[in-house]
Amino acid sequence: MAPVNAGGGIVGGALLELVGVQSFPGVLLILLLVALIIAWSAKRYAFPGNGSEKKPES
């Protein structure tokens, strides 16, 4: 897990150095949208329902 954390620190440091702190809200919005899309597309498989939803075929 350490390389991922180091990569985030490197990218964050580069953004801070090159663009400044004003770049952070836009980048965070993009990351939030990516996370929302992933969670929305995986909800059928990752979050069990009450049994009334269509089950994925195995």
Structure confidence by residue, pLDDT tens digits, 20-41? 999 999 999 999 999 999 988 8
Of residues 46 and 4, more confidence is placed in: 46
| Whole-number pLDDT of residue 6 | 81
- Tokens 């663009």 correspond to what residue? 19
Give the percent of the chain with pLDDT over 70. Answer: 71
Q: Where in the chain are the domains?
A: 14-45
User: Closest by alpha carbon to 44, among 30, 29, 58?
Assistant: 58
Predicted TM-score of the model (pTM): 0.61
Q: What is the DSSP string of 5-56?
A: HHHHHHHHHHHHHHT-GGGHHHHHHHHHHHHHHHHHHHHHHHS--SS-SPPP
